[in-house]
Amino acid sequence: MFLPKIDEQKCKQCGECVDVCPADVLAIEGDTTVVTAPQECLGCESCISVCPEDAITVEEI
């Protein structure tokens, strides 16, 4: 199982991670990007590769 984490201090809510995630794990809610379905994370790290702010990490748990 994988757990994506978003550093709210770095995240600019560009939406790139939301668009690229094949499992729809991430969403923008208001002015923050949130992990809405962590149990669905595939660990593919696509979100990490597209984040221009290096605001996302994915931890294997």
**Strand bridging mode 2-6 / 32-35:** unpaired
In one-letter notation, the amino acid at residue 29 is: E
Supply the pLDDT for residue 28. Answer: 97
Transcribe the chain into DSSP letters: -EEEEE-TTT-----HHHHH-TT--EEEETTEEEES-GGG-----HHHHH-TT--EEEEE-
**10-49 per-position pLDDT tens digit:** 999 999 999 999 999 999 999 999 999 999 999 999 999 9
Residue 52 neighbours by CB under 8 Å, 6+ apart: 12, 14, 16
Q: Domain 2-60, what architecture? A: 2-Layer Sandwich (3.30)
Supply the pLDDT for residue 8. Answer: 94
Supply the pLDDT for residue 35. Answer: 97
Which pTM does this prediction carry? 0.91
**39-61 per-position pLDDT tens digit:** 999 999 999 999 999 999 999 99
